[in-house]
């Protein structure tokens, strides 16, 4: 009936918790974001601000570990909002170059300011020690999953 070992059950529980947290925290964050930004869009803006330089959609897809199709869609929506611009890569006829616009930079600032309080509330849920305990294990799991897909 239950074909899972105890260890497998623990792993199952772990992934279950992670799924629920992901869902709840995304919904929570998204409600705070301005300009109708989604979590995916906000993440992309943050990435482009922090790691300046030229990014192709393919590199972005790899960085976020989503498919190219998913990245195409998110980039199109951000472009429609005027927060990024895309141009052809003169050195590679297949590729595009993604650039953050000034409006995108401002939107990211506003989003960060709006999201801050939501994150601050979370301090009540987890102590700094809790967070430090969780992060290494989760990174291990994330890296393993990334390498074995």
Partner DNA sequence: ACCTTATAGTTTGACATCGTACTATAGTCA
Partner DNA sequence: TGACTATAGTACGATGTCAAACTATAAGGT
Give dist(CA 132, CA 69) in Å, integer. 34
Give dist(CA 57, CA 14) in Å, integer. 32
Residue 121 Cβ, how far from DNA at the closest point, in Å?
Answer: 15
Q: Is the Cβ–Cβ distance between 107 and 35 less than 8 Å?
A: yes
Q: Is the Cβ–Cβ distance between 45 and 107 less than 8 Å?
A: yes
- Element spanning 57, H or E: helix 57-64
Using CB under 7 A as the binding criterion, the count of chain residues that bind DNA stands at 34
User: Is 77 or 105 the residue whose CB approaches DNA more closely?
Assistant: 77
Q: Which of 58, 62, 88, 134 binds a second copy (CB under 8 A)?
A: 134
User: Is 94 or 149 the residue whose CB approaches a second copy more closely?
Assistant: 149
- Element spanning 76, H or E: helix 68-80
Establish if 142 lies at the interface with a second copy (CB under 8 A): yes
Establish if 62 lies at the interface with a second copy (CB under 8 A): no
Establish if 89 lies at the interface with DNA (CB under 7 A): yes
Report DSSP state, residue 5: -
Find the length of the chain: 149
Interface segment toward DNA; rule CB under 7 A; list 94-102, 106-114, 119-127, 130-138: 94-102
Give dist(CA 57, CA 126) in Å, integer. 35
89 binds, among a second copy, DNA, none (CB under 5 to 8 A by kind): DNA
Establish if 75 lies at the interface with DNA (CB under 7 A): yes
Establish if 91 lies at the interface with a second copy (CB under 8 A): no
Binding interface with DNA (CB under 7 A): 23, 27, 30-31, 36, 38-41, 56-59, 64-77, 86, 89, 92-96
């Amino acid at each position: 009936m239950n074909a899972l070992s105890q260890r497998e059950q623990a792993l199952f529980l772990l992934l279950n918790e992670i799924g629920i947290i992901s869902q709840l925290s995304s919904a929570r964050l998204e409600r705070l974001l301005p300009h109708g930004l989604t979590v995916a869009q906000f993440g992309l803006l943050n990435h482009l601000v922090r790691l300046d330089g030229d990014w192709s959609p393919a590199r972005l897809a790899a960085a976020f570990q989503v498919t190219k199709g998913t990245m195409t869609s998110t980039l199109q929506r951000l472009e429609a909002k005027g927060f990024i611009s895309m141009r052809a890569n003169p050195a590679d006829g297949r590729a595009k170059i993604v650039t953050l616009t000034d409006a995108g930079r401002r939107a990211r600032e506003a989003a960060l300011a709006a999201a801050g309080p939501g994150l601050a509330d979370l301090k009540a849920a987890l102590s700094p020690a809790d967070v430090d305990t969780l992060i290494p294990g989760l990174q291990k799991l994330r890296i393993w999953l990334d390498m074995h897909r």
